[in-house]
Amino acid sequence: MKKLFLPALLTTTLGFTGAVPQAIGYYSKGLLNFASELPKDGPGFYHLFRSRNRFYGTREMLSVLTAVATQLEQTFPNEERLQIGDISAKKGGLITRHNSHQNGLDVDISYLRNDNREQQVEHDGFDEDFLQNGEISPNFDTKRNWELMKLLNREAKINRIFVDQKIKDELCRFARDRGELETELETLRRLRPYPDHSDHLHVRLECPEGNTRCQAQELPPEGHGCELTN
């Protein structure tokens, strides 16, 4: 089982209680008991859309977000922070703008940018589309976004990371050029093309150990899924 790295400084600020958060049901038909609350900001990250009050998730979700944000900040100092969107409502269940995000195991994150810009907290949605005229935007930081995907897959049991098809293709090419198609096969396997994900990625965790009422989704098919033609 992968160990989640959780900075000691954050253990008292993540809203953890004696009761372990429980993901209940399926991602698109579920609830959340004893939710943990992600701080509005911390080392290497800040939360968008704060008036929506969707800071809540399982302990595993909050741990992976804080761990990845901290490691990105250490690896790429002086770059923009991880910009985190909706997780779940405090008790889970259906929320506007989403079919999933119901049991604390889904989260939206902005892609990382070459210009390091951080968007306004209360902008109505992610404010930059990284697909322009059918091509990847020059502002899409391929190197750091690829590192983000790898960190996510190393820090937790990831079920899927939803991205735009063009963005998956871009990351596949980058991985191929670095000789990582096979060494990072499990990361690439979890990158799943899905419409309307050119302005953010959507991370979905597997059901945490001990969450016996959580309904798991089958893992993606075997293989990296990179059908490159050039």
- Reference 130, options 203, 220, 197, 181; nearest CA is 197
Rg (CA), the chain: 17
Would the pLDDT of 3 be above 90? Answer: no
| pLDDT value for 19 | 80
Would the pLDDT of 186 be above 60? Answer: yes
| Residue 31 belongs to domain with CATH number | 3.30.1380.10
Question: What's the pTM?
Answer: 0.91
- Which pair of tokens denotes residue 225? 């899924």
How many folded domains does the chain comprise? 1
Q: Which are the contacts of 132, defined by CB distance < 8 A and separation ≥ 6? A: none
Please indicate, yes or no, if residue 75 is contained in any of the structural domains.
yes
Would the pLDDT of 2 be above 80? Answer: no
| pLDDT value for 18 | 57
Query: What is the mean predicted confidence (pLDDT) over 212-229?
Result: 92
Please indicate, yes or no, if residue 226 is contained in any of the structural domains.
no
Which residues form the domain of 36? Answer: 9-205
- Which pair of tokens denotes residue 221? 């098919």
Please indicate, yes or no, if residue 117 is contained in any of the structural domains.
yes
Would the pLDDT of 54 be above 60? Answer: yes
Least confident residue range of 5-19, 149-163, 166-180: 5-19
Query: What is the mean predicted confidence (pLDDT) over 170-193?
Result: 97
CB 139 within 8 A of CB 195: no
Please indicate, yes or no, if residue 229 is contained in any of the structural domains.
no
- Reference 24, options 86, 92, 90; nearest CA is 92
Q: What percent of the chain has pLDDT over 90?
A: 89
Would the pLDDT of 4 be above 50? Answer: no
| pLDDT value for 6 | 44
Please indicate, yes or no, if residue 211 is contained in any of the structural domains.
no
Please indicate, yes or no, if residue 33 is contained in any of the structural domains.
yes
| pLDDT value for 13 | 43
CB 167 within 8 A of CB 131: yes
Please indicate, yes or no, if residue 224 is contained in any of the structural domains.
no
Please indicate, yes or no, if residue 230 is contained in any of the structural domains.
no
